Structure 1
């Protein structure tokens, strides 16, 4: 009887644990986030990733309650990861974590299915509040972006509103230096399909060279300069 009671307690304790995924291409950031999150006895980091593709795989495998995902990562943006998690679908809330103070990026994140957008400069005072909001399925937006989000935002990233998610991802990978063949392997597409996405993006962005795509990607903060 006592043993059975102990098992039930252990099961209850296990079920109460909140699981987290941290995805950022900087190890120091991941370590810092882990240290903050695991100060809570019932919070556990169950997976880490250093690029967007690995983040999606880790989310599917570990099914965390919350995924904290950097906006600018190799291979796939945090916004694309959020969109894939939503479409899969997984019962995982996504927090986009970024150095960029941009209401437009916050809006893109929310449209993709993320429920929280937090700038790294606000993390010290707001990270735990953002996570607490996510755990009860409430939206959270970084204070430094809230005004801009409420009043709309223009800028270079606005040019990309006509891009499909796949076209935007192709542009990001072009800016990271991948060839059409390399992009095709990452996205599991034919080279011909990749070329079509690339051509469509160039037409929509009104650029006529790889350099033009790279300039757009940097200015739109799809990649770090």
Structure 2
């Protein structure tokens, strides 16, 4: 069972997200918060597997709440809920340790897939969000893509395969199943990839995978 904390200052949004999550019997919304400070307190008391946080909330915004949750409840992975008008926040969310980014107006199937991925230890970028993250961070897609392709040349062919699957949002277990290797080997590959690419987490590695063209943009 994946235990979820849902935080948004709009009750109707919380109700809608909770209804979508309720379709999957593997999910349980254990707590709901209407502001960032409450979200941090509930993360401490409930220790959920995943916290879904709106970026803009009163008392403590989603970015600050995410950073605090990662500090006080490191076992809780964080997914940020964003809108198209909040591009400036996305790069900052990467820095505070968010593992996923989803659009509020996105496909409900992405919400379910994203929570599963992040709960399994993977990163998840909604395809549309991924495109905007890349654009926001790059300031120029063509130059950024060429740089990313140069960066991945330090990787072996097998490591590139693993990186592509990280970019697709697969967990270590799913990557192991796809490549017919054991999960421990995947963990070793991911650790090496992060080191060689000089990135701090799977989300940043996934962005490199997108930029380098290892991940299909229409998935």
Give the alignment's TM-score, normalised by structure 1. Answer: 0.57
Contact persistence 2:20–2:108 (CA under 8 A): no
Higher-Rg member (1/2): 1
The reply on whether 1:98 has 2:63 as its aligned counterpart is no
Secondary structure class of the residue paired with 1:122: coil
Distance 1:73 1:88, change over 3 A: same
Corresponding residue of 2:4: 20
Aligned-partner SS, 1:95: strand
Post-superposition shift, 1:53?
0.5
2:22 matched residue in structure 1: 38
Give the whole-Å Cα distance in 2 for the aligned partners of 1:114 and 1:93. 7
* Shift in CA distance, 89/47, structure 1 to aligned 2, threshold 3 Å: closer
Q: How many residues align?
A: 139
Partners of 1:31 and 1:151 in 2: CA distance: 32
Return the alpha-carbon distance in structure 2 between the equivalents of residues 109 and 77 of structure 1.
11
Cα root mean square deviation, aligned: 2.0
For 1:105-144, list aligned pairs within 5 A.
105-144=89-128
Please state whether the residue corresponding to 2:60 is helix, strand or coil: coil
In 2, the alpha carbon distance for the partners of 1:131 and 1:117 equals 10
Q: CA offsets, 1:43-84, max 9 Å, x none?
A: 111100000100110111000001111010001111111101
Structure 1 runs (4+) greater than 6 angstroms displaced: none
Q: Which residue of structure 1 aligns with residue 66 of structure 2? A: 82
Q: CA deviation at 1:124?
A: 2.4
Scaled by the length of structure 2, what TM-score is found?
0.59
Conserved? CA contact 1:24–1:69, under 8 Å: yes
